[in-house]
Structure 1
Amino acid sequence: MAAPTTGWFRCRIIFAIIGVIVGLSVFIVFATKFYNWNTALWGLLSGVGALITLIVHLLYRKGVWQTYSYRLRYYMLLGCFLQLAGVCGFVTYLSLGIVQKQVLTPYGNGFYLTCVWCFMTWKWGFSLFYYSRSYKQEFSDVYTIVAKEDSVYESDPLISD
């Protein structure tokens, strides 16, 4: 996979920063103004997912993943868990909203707005998984070539001491 262009990479970083700011804003507003703790906590979780995605992008920009690309699998796993949590939350809150015949309201336990933030959590989980996987694939070829060269020198009887 080719490295992202400078313009697209800046867009990735800007979108992740916006995701962190909006997630934290949703937490503050829905917790203090509307007292909707379900939406507030899912907004916070979405913001944390955006923050981790931002960290992955910034570490890619610094070149950390060239050396430690094997660590990206942990971020991929975290992305999978965020996706799973988002889907489970979405289905649960949608079902609760339908069963309890709720209307769209920000006050109290408005489950439909919580569905929106469960989806946003899924989106940031998918983003974290996707970008971690693409960065890992980008550097796995380099790591494989280096590993093969080292193994050739170790097994060559003419080079041994």
Structure 2
Amino acid sequence: MARKCSSWIFCLSSSLGIYFGITIFFLFTFVYHNNYAGIWGLISAVFAGLCLHLHLLSSDNRLSGWYSAQQLIAIAAFSFICFALAIGFTSWYLIYAIYHHIPMLPVKNSYFLAAVWSGMTMKWTFALFLLSYRYSRILRYTTPFLIIQENA
């Protein structure tokens, strides 16, 4: 029961991450003209979607039909690189805004909002790293070493 509840919470969290990331992209890019925060919102939504995709495949026991353990390791490596880049950009936006005394408002010139959404991207890339690495280990240790197929 606890596993099912945590699964629903993760799916809800990922779905909200997708929704808010896409909403932030359109709102900040086209209404407030803060392209940095808008693009980071879209990138965050993409990684939240990948997390939801992997989790739903795993909960339906269809992960091995879509991905191999090697592919999941490659996804984990890619997401870790993106995590490191997101840490760098979040730090850069914060340091730049503090050093140059850039205020949070107006939204158009706010580097703090870009730091928040690059931080959200950092969260989702780390979650994708953990999920893909965990699922690759599950696939590696539960897949039979030799699958025999008979020709009909």
TM over 0.5: yes
Q: Which residue of 2 aligns with 1:52?
A: 50
CA shift, 1:109, in A, is 2.3
* Partner Cα distance (2:51, 2:59) in 1: 13
- Give the letter for the 1:60 counterpart: S
Which structure is larger by alpha-carbon Rg, 1 or 2? 1
* Partner Cα distance (1:48, 1:82) in 2: 12
Q: Which residue of 2 aligns with 1:102?
A: 102
* Partner Cα distance (1:137, 1:32) in 2: 42
* Partner Cα distance (2:106, 2:88) in 1: 21
Q: Which residue of 1 aligns with 2:150?
A: none
Q: Which residue of 1 aligns with 2:86?
A: 86
- Give the letter for the 2:23 counterpart: S
* Partner Cα distance (1:78, 1:50) in 2: 15
Q: Which residue of 2 aligns with 1:15?
A: 13
Report the number of matched residues: 144
* Cα root mean square deviation, aligned: 1.9
CA shift, 1:58, in A, is 1.7
1:65-111 Cα offsets, whole Å, 9 max, x none, are 23533321122122212211210111111121022211112522210
- Give the letter for the 1:123 counterpart: K
CA shift, 1:132, in A, is 1.2
Give the gaps of 5 or more residues in structure 2.
147-152
Give the gaps of 5 or more residues in structure 1.
151-161
* Partner Cα distance (1:74, 1:16) in 2: 21
* Partner Cα distance (1:78, 1:53) in 2: 13
Q: Secondary structure of 2:6's partner?
A: helix
TM-score, normalised by the number of residues in structure 2: 0.86
Checking the alignment, whether the CA contact within 8 Å between 1:27 and 1:40 is kept in structure 2 is yes
CA shift, 1:135, in A, is 1.5
- Give the letter for the 2:89 counterpart: G
Q: Which residue of 2 aligns with 1:128?
A: 128
Identity of aligned residues (%): 23
1:8-41 Cα offsets, whole Å, 9 max, x none, are 1111111111100000011111112211111111
